[in-house]
Chains A and B, each alone.
Chain A
Amino acid sequence: MNTESNVLRESALDLERVAAESVSQTRPFYWSVRRELWENRWIYVGQLAVAGVFLVGFLFNMTRWLDKMRSLSIIGPAHWETVSLPYNIAAGALMGTLILMSIFYSSDALYGERRDRSILFWKSLPVSDLTTVLAKASIPLVVLPLLTFGITIALHLIMLLLSSIVLPASGISLASWWQELSIFPMWGMLLYHILLAHVLWPFPVYCWLILVSGWARRAPLLWAALPVVAIGGLEKLIFRTSHFAEMVGTRLIGSGAPTDVTHGEMFPTGPMTHLTPIRYFSAPSLWIGLVIAAVFLALAVRLRRYRDPV
Chain B
Amino acid sequence: MSVIEAHGLRKAFGTTVAVDGIDLRVEEGHILGLIGPNGAGKTTALDAIIGLTPYQGELRVLGRNPWQEREELMRDVCFIADVAVLPRWMRVSQALDYMIGVHPRFDRIKAEGFLAKTSIAHSSKVRELSKGMVVQLHLALVMAIDAKLLVLDEPTLGLDILFRKQFYDSLLNDYFDGSRTIIVTTHQVEEIQHVLTDLMFIHHGRIVLSCSMEEFEARYAEVMVKPEQLGAARALKPIYERQVFGRSILLFDQVGRQTLSAVGEVRTPSIADLFVAVMSNHSGTAQGAAR
Contacts and interface: CB of A to CB of B under 8 A. Distances in A.
Given A24-B104, A126-B102, 19 more contacts: A27-B102, A28-B101, A31-B97, A31-B102, A34-B98, A35-B90, A38-B94, A39-B87, A39-B90, A113-B87, A118-B87, A120-B82, A121-B85, A124-B80, A125-B74, A125-B102, A126-B72, A127-B74, A127-B102
A124 B153 CA distance: 12
B148 interface: no
A281 interface: no
Interface string A15-38: 000000000100110111011001
Contact of B101 (A31, A117, A124): A31
Contacts of A116: 87-88
Contact of A124 (B81, B87, B94, B98): B81
A123 interface: yes
Contacts of A125: 74, 99, 102-103
A126 B81 contact: no
A21 B87 CA distance: 28
A44 B196 CA distance: 50
A254 B163 CA distance: 55
B75 interface: yes
A264 to B, nearest CB: 48
Interface of A: 24, 27-28, 30-32, 34-35, 38-39, 113, 116-121, 123-128, 306, 308
B245 to A, nearest CB: 44
11 contacts: A28-B101, A31-B102, A116-B87, A116-B88, A117-B85, A118-B86, A120-B81, A121-B86, A123-B74, A125-B103, A127-B102
B140 to A, nearest CB: 14
Interface in B68-87: 70-72, 74-75, 78-82, 84-87
Contacts of A34: 97-98, 101
Nearest to B86: A121
Nearest to A117: B85
B50 interface: yes
B89 A38 contact: yes
Interface in B176-214: none
B71 A124 contact: no
B101 A30 contact: yes
Contact of A117 (B79, B84, B138): B84
A32 B175 CA distance: 28
The 9 A-B pairs of least Cβ separation, nearest first, read A31-B101, A118-B87, A120-B81, A126-B74, A128-B71, A120-B85, A28-B102, A121-B85, A126-B75
B50 A124 contact: yes
Contacts of B84: 117
Contacts of B87: 39, 113, 116, 118, 121
A119 B86 CA distance: 9
B92 to A, nearest CB: 12
B151 to A, nearest CB: 9
Contacts of A31: 97-98, 101-102
A131 to B, nearest CB: 8
Given A118-B85, A120-B82, A126 B104 contact: yes
Of B79, B97, B101, chain A has the most CB atoms within 10 Å of the CB of B101
B52 interface: yes
B96 to A, nearest CB: 12
A24 B103 CA distance: 9
B113 interface: no
Contacts of B91: 38
B57 interface: no
A113 to B, nearest CB: 8
Contacts of B102: 27-28, 31-32, 125-127
Contacts of A30: 101
Contacts of B80: 124
B54 interface: yes
Given A24-B104, A31-B98, A126-B104, A38 B90 contact: yes
A126 B82 CA distance: 18
Given A39-B89, A118-B86, A121-B87, A126 B98 contact: no
Interface in B98-118: 98-99, 101-104
Nearest to A131: B71
B52 A123 contact: yes
A126 B73 CA distance: 7
A58 to B, nearest CB: 33
A306 B102 CA distance: 22
Contacts of B97: 31, 34
A28 B106 CA distance: 13
